[in-house]
């Protein structure tokens, strides 16, 4: 009966980075994955250009019950370490925004680099884990392709978004079996459905400010046939997809703008005046009125301004895991060591990546968390 030092469940970015550290420590490793290819989410990330890190990564860019949990892992393997790792593998990258790095030649470069670090490490694809048992400090991993044995286990199964990429909640089920609490999973970094807008606005994009639960997000917003999307909305779903306040003209005090237009362009319709600061269709939707702006009372202009600077949504619904980039929730970090990623309940059981209740903001933060947590788990397991 062959026993490995560590078995890793999940062959994504976190699992492969964990395997790298174990191989460097000359530990015997086996990787199990239910899919037919490694790092399937990495392959499609960043529009297949893989936004592989962000220099601004710190706990303020992470969400969950305890975002500060990420601090130790990010200190042990920082965005700078990720960039140095990319350089050491001759990955050509570009900095699209300050501190935000993408692969110049595509996500395959990151995938190939990860695999090159674990040459000859066995990976069993199309292998569904059914159960994990522990007895006398040894683990038995029961799968559809037989049983495997190890001294430690790293759960790196990721989230349950993009179900077409062969994902599952087995990581959460294993954690629950060993008495870890599970925070309810929900989709995030996705568009939302809402009845607040007309489908005729679909395709319109503009810069906007969204306030959600005291958080202020300034980014691009895109109208869809079912609601709204774009980076601003995606980021808002990390906090609360249901209720948000949208400012469609964040650089303009619209009431003052309309009052001034009332004095200087009184014969213009209020809709045409609004179209000076908004896309034409959106201006018509928010304040269509045939009257000249000079005919409006200031109280009426205030109501129009509120629709533009303070548009409330109370029926937002995330479109679901099918199109969501990430999963919020997952295994609670309360009983996991932030310094080692080891379970405080079950010695020898480790976790890495999105399977935990840690979710990063849009912009390379999630793959950085996969690398950092995988690095720490691989440094301590086995």
Residues in contact with 310: Cβ distance below 8 Å, sequence separation at least 6, in sequence order: 245, 247
Sorting pLDDT into bands at 50, 70 and 90, what band is 204?
very high
- Whether 222 contacts 245, CB under 8 Å: no
**Residue 40 burial by Cβ neighbours in a 10 Å radius (0-12, 13-18, 19+):** buried
* 288 confidence band (pLDDT: 50, 70, 90): confident
- What is the rounded average pLDDT for all residues in the chain? 96
Quick one: which of 205, 192, 211 has its CA closest to 315?
192
> Nearest-5° angle of CA 83, CA 326, CA 117?
35
Can you list the domains of the chain with their CATH numbers? 3-184+328-380 (3.50.50.60), 191-319 (1.10.8.260)
Q: Which pLDDT belongs to residue 97? A: 87
Residue 1 has pLDDT above 80, yes or no: no
Burial 212-230 (b: 16+ CB within 10 A, else e): beeeebebebbbbebbbbb
Residue with tokens 């202020």: 216
- Token code pair at residue 135: 């007895």
Return the residue matching tokens 């492969």.
16
99/106 Cα distance (integer angstroms): 18
- 160 to each of 163, 322, 329, how far by Cα in Å? 6, 9, 11
Provide DSSP, 195-236: SSS-GGGTT-EEEEEEEETTEEEEEEEEE-SSEEESHHHHHH
Q: What is the pTM of this model?
A: 0.95
What is the phi-psi region of residue 329: left when phi exceeds 0, alpha when psi lies from -120 to 50, beta otherwise?
left
How far apart, in whole angstroms, are the C-alpha atoms of residue 86 and residue 352?
Answer: 20
State yes or no: pLDDT of 337 exceeds 80. Answer: yes
Cα separation, 194 vs 134, whole angstroms: 47
Mean pLDDT, rounded, for 272-284: 96
Instruction: Return the CA Rg of the chain.
Output: 24
> In the structure, what pLDDT confidence band is assigned to residue 289 with cuts at 50, 70 and 90?
confident
% pLDDT > 90, the chain? 94
Rounded (10°) CA dihedral 242, 243, 249, 253: 180
Neighbours of 65 (CB within 10 A): 13
């Amino acid at each position: 009966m062959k026993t490995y030092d560590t078995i890793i469940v999940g062959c994504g970015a976190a699992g492969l980075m964990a395997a790298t550290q174990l191989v460097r420590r000359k530990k015997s490793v086996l990787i199990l994955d239910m899919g037919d290819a490694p790092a399937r989410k990495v392959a499609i990330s960043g529009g297949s250009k893989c936004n592989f890190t962000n220099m601004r990564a710190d706990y303020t860019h992470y969400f969950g019950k305890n975002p500060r949990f990420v601090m130790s892992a990010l200190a042990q393997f920082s965005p700078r370490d990720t960039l140095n790792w990319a350089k050491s593998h001759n990955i050509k990258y570009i900095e699209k925004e300050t501190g935000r790095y993408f692969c110049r030649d595509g996500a395959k470069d990151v995938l190939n680099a990860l695999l090159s670090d674990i040459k000859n490490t066995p990976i069993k694809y199309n292998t569904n884990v059914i159960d994990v048992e522990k007895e006398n400090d040894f683990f038995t991993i029961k799968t559809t392709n037989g049983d495997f044995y190890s001294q430690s286990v790293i759960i790196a199964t990721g989230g349950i978004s993009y179900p077409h990429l062969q994902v599952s909640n087995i990581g959460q089920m294993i954690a629950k079996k060993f008495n870890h609490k599970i925070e309810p999973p929900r989709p995030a970094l996705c568009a939302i459905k809402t009845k607040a807008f007309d489908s005729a606005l679909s395709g319109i994009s503009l810069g906007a400010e969204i306030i959600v639960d005291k958080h202020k997000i300034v980014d691009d917003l895109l109208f869809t046939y079912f609601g709204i999307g774009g980076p601003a909305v995606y980021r808002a779903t990390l906090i609360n997809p249901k209720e948000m306040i949208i400012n469609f003209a964040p650089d303009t005090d619209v009431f003052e703008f309309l009052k001034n237009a009332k004095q200087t362009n009184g014969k213009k319709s209020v809709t045409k005046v609004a179209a000076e600061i908004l896309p034409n269709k959106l201006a018509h939707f928010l304040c269509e009125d045939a009257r000249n702006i000079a005919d409006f009372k200031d109280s009426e202009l205030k109501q129009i301004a509120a629709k533009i600077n303070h548009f409330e949504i109370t029926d937002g619904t995330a479109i679901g895991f099918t199109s969501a980039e990430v999963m919020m929730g997952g295994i609670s970090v309360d009983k996991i060591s932030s310094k080692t990623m080891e379970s405080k309940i079950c010695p020898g059981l480790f976790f890495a990546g999105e399977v935990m209740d840690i979710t990063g903001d849009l912009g390379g933060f999630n793959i950085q968390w996969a690398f950092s947590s995988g690095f720490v788990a691989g440094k301590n397991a086995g």
